[in-house]
Amino acid sequence: MSNLLSVMNDGYEIPSIGYGTWMVPDAESEALVREALEAGYRHIDTAMIYENEVGVGKGIARSGLPREEIFVTTKLWITDMNDPQGALTTSLRKLQLDYVDLYLIHWPAPKVNLYAKAWDALIELREKGLVRSIGVSNFNPEHLDALKGSGVTPCINQVEAHPSFPNTEVITANTAQGILTECYCPLGRGKYLTSPVLSGIASHLDATEAQVVLAWHLSKGYIPLPKSATPARIKENLDVQKIELADEDIAAIDSLATGRKICADPADFNG
């Protein structure tokens, strides 16, 4: 299956849906990554702190796909902000890769106050060819603003966002700076998928409620990172690319917003 592509502000393309591996145990990640790649995913998202880079790397290596066909993301953890190159070197070794397509600062951790310094280091890693694109995750508008002095704008800000928590302030700031929004927890861990609004739209479109939500993400220009350990659902989540929502469907889904986060709050990782 072909992947829709989004263009980042550095000119590189990124598949518009990725396979998320958060909370996937290392022992299971090889098989699940291979399953996702076989289903047609070409975008795999992991992180050092997920402790599954070894399995993800094995899944990529044993998929039989050319390296250049797979977009791989990993992330710099808070405790490694003083040595991003060392952290990336370790991640590349675990992933069995010479470079990653996207490297993100996982959390700003403003109390630690190293994220601007770490950002300068990521710029250097990009110049060395160890990463192609660089970005951030869980950054609020003030954290994005603090990077402006570097002269390099993040390509991506990966944040929690779904119909229940649209994260409007952050995503508005992303858009204003030409930063694409990636969405972890795009299905809200299934907590709102029983909504009659979603059920009605799903029935009309002959789709699942999860597919409707992922189509909502795509309609907004977001890049969702759904995770599933079920082969049928892994494929269903990618099949969403052929679903088109009407304007009234999008408005109805927008009405589900409660402002309540489901995943961790950036304040939990201030350092």
Contact 213, 250 (CB under 8 A): no
DSSP conformation letters of the chain: ----EEE-TTS-EEESS-EE-TT--HHHHHHHHHHHHHHT--EEE--GGGT-HHHHHHHHHTT---GGG-EEEEEE-GGGTT-HHHHHHHHHHHHT-S-EEEEEE----TTT--HHHHHHHHHHHHHTTSEEEEEEES--HHHHHTTGGGT---SEEEEE-BTTB--HHHHHHHHHTTPEEEEESTTGGGTTTT-HHHHHHHHHHT--HHHHHHHHHHHHT-EE----S-HHHHHHHHHGGG----HHHHHHHHTT------S--GGGG--
CA of 115: how far to CAs of 109, 158, 172, in Å?
7, 15, 21
Is residue 50 among the annotated active site residues? yes
Query: 114, 76 in Cβ contact below 8 A?
Result: no
* Catalytic residue chosen out of the listed positions 41, 50, 115, 184: 50
Q: Which are the catalytic amino acids?
A: 50
